[in-house]
Homo-oligomer: A and B are copies of this chain.
């Protein structure tokens, strides 16, 4: 069955393609098409179930009604929840979402950005960048493509951001631990740690200690390699057990580390340690409601990242937002 096109409607109705196109694009009044004609056109189009060819339209207008989303890993619940919320906002506004994962690989991110803009012609791009610096985005020739960066901030790069208050949330949870009488609080961070979210959380931890007159000790700060999480966590525990008998809390900067920590603490060798420490985690996951151990956590407004960033990119695409916008969303502490 051949697809209906403007010409078919035109013949059927006796109006020109031009007129029909105008009415369909809501420009009937603007071009002075009489109300009666407009109604007739809309009725016929609805009856015949005609929809304009997307490619012809995009070719002519240069607009694809697609927004790209680039994240490290779309199977990560954090990002897939963001994706879901972005998608639903876009859909309500007649746009569609195209998602790609970089696998935390800079080269891959580059290729994806170029591919999306060049070959797919997205109208805008939402990115949780893996880059350490903004060089690529500074030098890109796609300066007229709307960009919104989420989750991670690129240092010294003036752009549109929708991020979480990692520093504040981190400081808050550490403060809470201190109020609960914790004095020796270890911090399990992740390597590579140049990603802004991690940096900010580390700083929140340090500053909270300092403000509460506790010393920041390097030997309490453990860096866990992202591809050796379990091993590094256990090594760190061994070290802490030996050198910090007064240890009373471990603060993990993400949920993967926390998971590994929980697994490790079930081993016999850490039995004693396990019973005397509190565990805190930046990021709240469902599992914390099920396990026996009480985990203190910081919950991130994940949905809001999606909603805010998609609304922002639409505004930019439609020229409603011209200067750079910085949205910082607050976290909330979950005591258990």
Contact = CB atoms under 8 A, between A and B. Distances in A.
Interface stretch (A53-61, A160-168, A193-201, A236-244): A53-61
Given A59-B59, A80-B77, A292-B292, A120 B54 contact: yes
Interface stretch (A182-190, A259-267, A318-326): A259-267
B74 A75 contact: no
Contacts of A100: 87, 91, 96-97
A46 interface: no
Copies of this protein chain in the complex? 2
Interface string A55-82: 1101100001010000001111100110
Interface string A122-158: 0000000000000000000100000000000000000
Nearest to A143: B1
**6 interchain residue pairs of minimum CB distance:** A80-B80, A55-B59, A75-B84, A55-B58, A75-B81, A287-B287
21 contacts: A1-B141, A51-B119, A53-B121, A54-B119, A54-B121, A56-B59, A58-B58, A74-B84, A75-B77, A77-B77, A83-B99, A96-B98, A96-B100, A98-B98, A259-B286, A266-B290, A287-B287, A287-B290, A287-B291, A291-B292, A292-B292
